[in-house]
Amino acid sequence: MKLIRIDKDCHGTIVIAWVILACLIACVLYFSHSLWVQIPLITIFLLNAVFVFWFHRVPERTAPEGDDRTVTSVADGKVIIVEKVYEKEYFKEERIQVSVYMNFFDVHANFWPMDGQISYYKYHPGKYLLAFLPKASEKNEHATTVIGNSHGEVLFKQIAGTFARRIVCYSETGNSVKRAEQCGIIKFGSRIDMYFPLDADIKVKVGDLTRACETVIAELR
């Protein structure tokens, strides 16, 4: 049986959460002497401790067959947007946007969607609106990465949500990356936006469920 792998940047978050939960359990034991109060509350706190640990897991995934035209999902979740939009940060032209929304129970580790080289990276501080709202793409805290190869460039944004208060991204301009290797994590409920060339063959539709590394989002020309 393989051990659960936890994101390397989340160990501190887990320890802090466990310390807080341990203090709450100690308070329950100190201030209440009723088993009818102690057992339910302690059970809830212990389940929260397990959830915090499980939430920051990094699963092992196998990428599907494909060449450097294949673009897979950055994250687990549900496709909420597939539409043509004007991308104004980097391309400054029309692109096809595909957005994947992650809920509390989805894996929040993120993975490189394609083979290539990072040509652009920028972190944007911002608000913490509900991640599924259209304006969250620009208003919320987010990190923008562009990866390119001989078939074109793809931009993706890691977007914080109401409860996601920290984005971890391993992007560094000039670095070469490989599809399906981890590129970061978003802590608690969030979203990924991906922007493709207009001639890309989009493989998903609104309502589809995606699995990072395994679901093919598009094929570049």
Question: Any idea which residues carry the catalytic annotation?
Answer: 190
Is residue 152 exposed (0-12), middle (13-18) or buried (19+ Cβ within 10 Å)?
middle
Nearest to 146, CA basis, from 83, 106, 87: 87
Nearest to 78, CA basis, from 211, 167, 183: 211
How many residues in the chain? 221
Interatomic CA distance for residues 200 and 151, integer angstroms: 10
Nearest to 167, CA basis, from 6, 13, 18, 47: 13
Q: DSSP secondary structure string, 24-36?
A: HHHHHHHH---HH
